[in-house]
């Protein structure tokens, strides 16, 4: 069975040495000193390693079962959920007035990583609730907040997001679920929603569904959409639970992975719903939560890769096959451990350099979200909005690839469910699809984010890269291994951006045909930047004789690997982009 | 439920227009005229589409069940197996004296592709039998051939290959299964083998296990290994079945995919085995079958991608979401079919250009095998031996990637088992692992095949590319779109080869750290060569006004896509290779 250990030291390195959170001046960050974050992450890591990780294969094997309208979660999930509740983990970054602890999102991100690595399917019950809370916080009335938030923050009640319908996923404008105004100010919601994660289960007293539906008078397309709160049990004035609402789970889907999470078909049969936010502005309400939700999915991508990587390393050290070509490393044994083989190293280094770069990138994104919210910093918000599709799309694509590579380390055993490596790959696969399939992320990046605010944010990103290179180009130790590759990759990214500007104006297909490659190109540059920053910090620590020299040397070696072995991919992405839309669009639909 | 249609026209194009099989002068190829191969492939395709494909999801959902030592295959598999038997499909390329039809392997490859695309797990029962037949043909005594082959060719009996043990997969030298000589000349086989595909099932009267084991006196390592025939039921002198042998299935594995095929733990408890081939030369006996077996697995990679692609295209034409950015294509409908979107096109073109290139490459490999066997052409054998790890490693890696991309076209539905796209990805995943994990293929390529016969075969490959370019560089229509990209990619491959020669001599880790990238680089050049050849033929047909112009234009457009969008990857692979082994080997094992 796979095991998991929270990478606390790596997280601390990112938080304190790279992002320097406690010196950043963001309100609330002054509490994030080394000891405090260490204690919090250690504690969360313990829960993740000891309680959640052992349940991961259980959830996969048992799945969820729907019987008489009730969804039974896998054995042990209920008890574990109680432990998450008791620890108050869900409220870590939520307002104190509703029972939370008002800590920065960046800390919740670190905590969340340990839980997602340990048990992604389980963590979604909490994750969806957190998303629903954010929506109510941002758009709910005071009464709605008082009614729902305390119980949701404590996880007595959980939440869901209901967007997709059988015939519409990406294109919400064609949705059919209807909201009919009632005399008492509520709405009667009727329709069917699919792919509703945690839509029904047995771990909470109540489930608060946030549902997009069309109310009369809004017109066609997405303009007519409003957002509604539809609780499973209506809530009486005194806060106690009342009648069962007209919402039910009609089916749970058999999926490739995340079996421990119930993916429900939800039927709304004139269910009582309460408008949240403005009428006909439901899409806007959804958008405000999107960065956070998408960063959370990007995190799932690399967090699955982290868990898979840890086990691949253990197996590579354990499994004896063949001999080191430069001389036996385990001469007493029947063979050497496979970690001696260069191609196994190549595989593990791919994984390690990706995961650590991805973590730094994601934590940086989380810090920017804090900066946007807590310091009301519009530039930070613009920058993180630009990078959000990259975090989501690039990190989930690569996270899946790395989980597949980790599986490969196990040879035949990687394909056998008992060893657990298949689950990491199967679970990671969904992150490329939900919360906007990765093709949609690429479209969002190229079609919307690049040009947002007159291209201000992408220029800010380039300035950031440029000034980092400029500030540090005197450092001999960094130049060849970190700065030069970063400069080359960044040049490729700029060339791609220029290509879009020149060609995309005349024919949008030229830009959109390259959107997916652009997302990956951008991702590589971001991870290159993170590795350059990490390399700089680690080198400075070494020069100053501070901290754990072995740890810092390992960081530098891992960073060098990324710069030498992964960043060159930018040239291929640029070539694909610059080949334009003609080859992509050449065929008639009938000739595929 | 997914559907499948045999791509007969594409296969015919490769066989007759590209490989020009009936003009090739290989003994037996004179029978392969257009009408004949068309009829054979059509017939096989019909069986694949109508009988095997509908059973693919059934096999996935039901899997195999072990009860009281008997393995029950999924519902319908037995009847379908009877139809494969009745059609004589297994004997297509086997000797007439044992009931086969003695057709070329290249034709069996085309037929096999349709069956693998339709139902990979099912086809393995036949595929393993075919492999065991090849072993007996090559190394068995006349008596052994008479005893086993007629029943195996007819599929009354099936076969298996038993190599792997719990502690040894790649490193067969450390195997423990023992063979003790008995007074009657037979051996008593004792030990445990794992991952035995089709090891036990209910579709054949007898199962003929080919088992590697150590007989006394052979010394340590792989030298001591011999190959034995261990039938499930002993065979009486009159050919009737005798006593049950001491071999049994102890367990069937729960796997990520190919659920319809029973992957067995086989226990040998003093089972009666008969030496096949020379004592202590079992490894050599295995090696002679390796090219064919590995090409068969490479075929599985792209054949799964083909099946997934066909369904992705159908879905992309059917699913309505969003609008064409250049103007609505389905203005009467609620939205346009998603095939209008450039990123969906990019995804589908990746798949199409890979699968068609891979088919040509694999058929070419099969033709070289025929040439080696039927014309006793040592150069053909050397060339196909060089390319075999590329066919196996590159086509299974990319085949899996493409199945994953096809799944992505379905959005959320791609993750739901009911839609069948998950199965293509899960089934395709095993092809990267078995028959030598792809890292081993890369090692075989760089560590063994490159330098084989003094580098003669890799030089022959380069000459082939060079002379193709030289012969055709006068063709304006080919130059920019096909020849120039091929030349650039081939230059990258040569540079990588040079790097290995220079560096690898001093430090083998420099070469082995780049082996995986080299395998992919080589794969791209091979597919580039195939596309250049296909482009040339299609252009010539167009120029001559021959055949289906739309078909040929589509070939050219698809080829252009591959050359422009996929071949540039060679530069990244070269950069990774040339970065050497230092970054790969930098860390101590403890620092991963």
The pLDDT tens digits for B447-468 are 999 999 999 999 999 999 999 9
Taking an 8 Å cut-off on Cβ atoms, the answer to whether A508 and B325 are in contact is yes
- Give dist(CA B311, CA B289) in Å, integer: 34
Q: What pLDDT score was predicted for residue A540?
A: 97
Domain A8-138 has CATH 3.90.1150.10: no
Residue B443 CA: distances (Å) to CA of A13, A165, A325, B447, B501: 37, 49, 11, 5, 15
Residue of chain A with shortest Cα separation from B505: A326
Give me the residue label for tokens 């991870």.
Answer: A527
Strand pairing of A247-252 and B263-276? unpaired
Distance from CA of A581 to the nearest CA of B (A): 8
- Give dist(CA B91, CA B101) in Å, integer: 6
Under the banding of pLDDT at 50, 70 and 90, the label for residue B519 is very high
- Give dist(CA A369, CA A399) in Å, integer: 22
Which of the residues A432, A572, A580, A590 would you substitute to probe the B interface, choosing the one with the greatest number of B C-beta atoms within 10 Å?
A572
Q: What pLDDT score was predicted for residue B284?
A: 85
Reported as type and span, the H/E element at residue A125 is helix A120-139
Residues of A in contact with B427 (CB under 8 A): none
Q: What pLDDT score was predicted for residue A330?
A: 96
Terminal CA-to-CA distance of chain A, rounded, Å? 44
Looking only at Cα atoms, what is the longest distance across chain B? 83
B404, B516, B564: residue with CB nearest A343:
B516
DSSP conformational letter for B337:
B
- Give dist(CA A448, CA B572) in Å, integer: 29
Under the banding of pLDDT at 50, 70 and 90, the label for residue B220 is confident
B169, B404, B568: residue with CB nearest A411:
B169
**Three-class secondary structure of residue B213 per DSSP:** strand
Residues of B in contact with A224 (CB under 8 A): none
Question: How many DSSP H helices and E strands does chain A contain?
Answer: 21, 11
Q: Are B117 and B403 in contact (CB under 8 A)?
A: no
**Three-class secondary structure of residue B12 per DSSP:** helix
A412, A579, A584: residue with CB nearest B342:
A584
DSSP labels for B400-455?
HHHHHHHHHHTGGGGGBGGGSHHHHHHHHHHHTTSSS-HHHHHHHIIIIITTGGGG
Give me the residue label for tokens 């989980």.
Answer: A403
Q: Is the pLDDT of residue B568 over 80?
A: yes
Q: Calculate the CA A537 to chain-centre distance.
A: 26
Taking an 8 Å cut-off on Cβ atoms, the answer to whether A349 and B571 are in contact is no
Options 3.40.1380.20, 3.40.50.300, 1.10.10.10, 1.20.140.10; which CATH number does A289-436 get?
A: 1.20.140.10
ipTM of the complex: 0.97
- Give dist(CA B368, CA B381) in Å, integer: 7
Options 2.130.10.10, 2.40.110.20, 1.10.1740.10, 3.30.1490.20; which CATH number does B159-280 get?
A: 2.40.110.20
A253 carries an active-site annotation: no
Q: Residue B252's beta-bridge partner residues?
A: B264
Residues of B in contact with A446 (CB under 8 A): none
- Give dist(CA A338, CA B346) in Å, integer: 38
Taking an 8 Å cut-off on Cβ atoms, the answer to whether A343 and B439 are in contact is yes
**Three-class secondary structure of residue B95 per DSSP:** coil
Q: Is the pLDDT of residue B288 over 80?
A: no
Q: Are A125 and A153 in contact (CB under 8 A)?
A: no
Name all contacts of A175-180 with Cβ < 8 Å and 24+ positions apart.
A175/A212, A175/A213, A175/A214, A175/A225, A176/A214, A177/A211, A177/A212, A177/A213, A177/A214, A177/A268, A178/A213, A178/A214, A178/A215, A179/A213, A179/A214, A179/A215, A179/A226, A179/A228, A179/A273, A179/A275, A180/A215, A180/A216
Q: Are B120 and B53 in contact (CB under 8 A)?
A: no
**Three-class secondary structure of residue B186 per DSSP:** coil
Backbone dihedral angles phi then psi of residue B513, each to the nearest 5 degrees: -65, -20
B255, B550, B569: residue with CB nearest A572:
B569
Under the banding of pLDDT at 50, 70 and 90, the label for residue B51 is very high
Low-confidence ranges of chain A (pLDDT < 50): none
**∠ CA B526-B528-B533 to the nearest 5 degrees?**
95
Closest CA to A153 of A204, A108, A91: A91
- Give dist(CA A14, CA A22) in Å, integer: 12
Residues of A in contact with B554 (CB under 8 A): 587, 591
Q: Calculate the CA B412 to chain-centre distance.
A: 30
- Give dist(CA B228, CA B209) in Å, integer: 8
Taking an 8 Å cut-off on Cβ atoms, the answer to whether B417 and A513 are in contact is no
Q: What pLDDT score was predicted for residue B443?
A: 97
Reported as type and span, the H/E element at residue A434 is none
Taking an 8 Å cut-off on Cβ atoms, the answer to whether A171 and B348 are in contact is no
Taking an 8 Å cut-off on Cβ atoms, the answer to whether A584 and B345 are in contact is yes
Taking an 8 Å cut-off on Cβ atoms, the answer to whether B254 and A416 are in contact is yes
Options 3.40.190.10, 2.40.110.20, 2.60.40.1290, 2.60.130.10; which CATH number does A157-280 get?
A: 2.40.110.20
Residue of chain B with shortest Cα separation from A411: B433
Say which residues have a Cβ less than 8 Å from residue B335's Cβ, sequence separation at least 6.
A171, A173, A174, B320, B321, B322, B323
Say which residues have a Cβ less than 8 Å from residue B472's Cβ, sequence separation at least 6.
B478, B483, B532, B536
B/e letters for A70-80, b = 16+ CB within 10 Å, e = fewer, are ebbbbebbeeb
Taking an 8 Å cut-off on Cβ atoms, the answer to whether A592 and B352 are in contact is yes
Average pLDDT over residues B198-207: 98
Q: What pLDDT score was predicted for residue A222?
A: 87
Residue range(s) in chain B whose domain bears CATH number 1.10.540.10: 8-138
Which of the residues A312, A354, A411, A480 would you substitute to probe the B interface, choosing the one with the greatest number of B C-beta atoms within 10 Å?
A411
Domain B289-351+369-436 has CATH 3.40.1030.10: no
A347, A411, A443: residue with CB nearest B170:
A411
- Give dist(CA B263, CA B249) in Å, integer: 10
A425, A515, A557: residue with CB nearest B586:
A557
Q: What pLDDT score was predicted for residue A289?
A: 78
Taking an 8 Å cut-off on Cβ atoms, the answer to whether A321 and B348 are in contact is no
The pLDDT tens digits for B239-248 are 999 999 999 9
Which of the residues A63, A326, A430, A565 would you substitute to probe the B interface, choosing the one with the greatest number of B C-beta atoms within 10 Å?
A565
Closest CA to A432 of A526, A523, A298: A298
Active-site residue (options: B113, B165, B356, B435): B435
The pLDDT tens digits for B154-183 are 999 999 999 999 998 888 889 999 999 999
Q: CA torsion B47→B50→B53→B54, rounded to 10°?
A: -140
Taking an 8 Å cut-off on Cβ atoms, the answer to whether B557 and A583 are in contact is yes
Say which residues have a Cβ less than 8 Å from residue B491's Cβ, sequence separation at least 6.
none
Helix extents (H) in A140-207: 142-153
Q: Calculate the CA A328 to chain-centre distance.
A: 42
The pLDDT tens digits for B431-443 are 999 999 999 999 9
Q: What pLDDT score was predicted for residue B136?
A: 96
Percentage of the residues of chain B whose pLDDT score is greater than 70? 100
Reported as type and span, the H/E element at residue A211 is strand A206-214
Active-site residue (options: A356, A435, A502, A550): A435
Count residue pairs from A and B with Cβ separation < 8 A.
Answer: 265
Mean pLDDT score of chain B, rounded to an integer? 97
Residue of chain A with shortest Cα separation from B401: A401
Backbone dihedral angles phi then psi of residue A417, each to the nearest 5 degrees: -60, -35
Backbone dihedral angles phi then psi of residue B432, each to the nearest 5 degrees: -75, -15
Closest CA to A416 of B196, B124, B160, B414: B196
């Amino acid at each position: 069975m796979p095991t998991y250990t929270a990478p606390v030291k790596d997280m601390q390195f990112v938080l304190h040495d790279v992002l320097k959170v406690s010196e950043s001046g963001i309100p609330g960050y002054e509490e994030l000193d080394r000891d405090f974050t260490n204690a919090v992450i250690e504690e969360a890591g313990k829960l993740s390693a000891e309680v959640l990780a052992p349940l991961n294969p259980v959830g996969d094997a048992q799945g969820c079962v729907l019987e008489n309208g009730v969804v039974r979660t896998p054995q042990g999930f209920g008890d574990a959920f109680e432990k998450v509740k008791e620890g108050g983990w869900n409220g870590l970054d939520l307002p104190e007035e509703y029972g939370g602890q008002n800590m920065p999102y960046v800390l919740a991100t670190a905590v969340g990583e340990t839980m997602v690595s340990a048990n992604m399917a389980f963590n979604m019950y909490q994750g969806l609730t957190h998303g629903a809370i954010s929506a109510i916080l941002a758009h709910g009335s005071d009464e709605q907040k008082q009614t729902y938030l305390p119980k949701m923050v404590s996880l007595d009640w959980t939440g869901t997001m209901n967007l997709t319908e059988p015939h519409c996923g990406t294109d919400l404008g064609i949705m059919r679920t209807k909201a009919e105004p009632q005399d008492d100010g509520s709405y009667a919601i009727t329709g069917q929603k699919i792919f509703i994660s945690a839509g029904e289960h047995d771990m909470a007293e109540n489930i608060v569904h946030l549902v997009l539906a069309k109310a009369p008078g809004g017109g066609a397309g997405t303009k007519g959409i409003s957002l509604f709160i539809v609780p499973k049990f209506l809530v009486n004035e005194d806060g106690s639970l009342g009648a069962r609402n007209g919402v039910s789970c009609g089916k749970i889907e058999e999926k490739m992975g995340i079996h421990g999470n119930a993916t429900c078909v939800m039927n709304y049969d004139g269910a009582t719903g309460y408008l949240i936010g403005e009428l006909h502005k439901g899409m806007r309400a959804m958008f405000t939560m999107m960065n956070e939700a998408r960063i959370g999915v990007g995190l799932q991508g690399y967090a699955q890769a982290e868990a898979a990587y840890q086990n691949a390393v253990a197996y590579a050290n354990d499994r004896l096959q063949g001999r080191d070509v430069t001389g036996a490393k385990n001469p007493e044994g029947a063979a050497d451990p496979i970690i001696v083989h260069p191609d196994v190293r190549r595989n593990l280094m791919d994984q390690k350099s990706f995961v650590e770069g991805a973590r730094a990138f994601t934590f940086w994104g989380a810090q920017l979200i804090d900066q946007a919210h807590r310091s009301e910093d519009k530039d930070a918000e613009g920058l993180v909005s630009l990078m959000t599709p990259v975090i989501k799309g690039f990190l989930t694509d690569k996270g899946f690839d790395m989980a597949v590579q980790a599986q490969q380390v196990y040879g035949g055993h990687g394909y056998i469910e008992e060893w657990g490596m298949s689950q990491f790959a199967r679970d990671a696969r969904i992150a490329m699809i939900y919360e906007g399939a990765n093709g949609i992320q690429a479209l969002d990046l190229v079609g919307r984010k690049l040009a947002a605010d007159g291209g201000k944010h992408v220029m800010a990103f380039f300035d950031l890269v440029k000034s980092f290179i400029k500030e540090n180009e005197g450092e001999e130790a960094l130049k060849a291994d970190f700065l030069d590759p970063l400069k080359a990759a960044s040049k490729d990214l700029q060339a791609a951006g220029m290509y879009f500007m020149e060609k995309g104006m005349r024919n949008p297909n030229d830009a959109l045909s390259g959107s997916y490659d652009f997302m990956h190109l951008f991702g590589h540059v971001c991870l290159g930047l993170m590795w350059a920053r990490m390399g700089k910090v680690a080198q400075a620590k070494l020069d100053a004789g501070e901290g754990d020299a072995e740890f810092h040397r390992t960081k530098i070696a891992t960073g060098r690997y990324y710069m030498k072995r992964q960043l060159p991919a930018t040239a291929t992405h640029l070539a694909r982009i610059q080949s334009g839309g003609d080859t992509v669009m050449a065929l008639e639909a009938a000739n595929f």
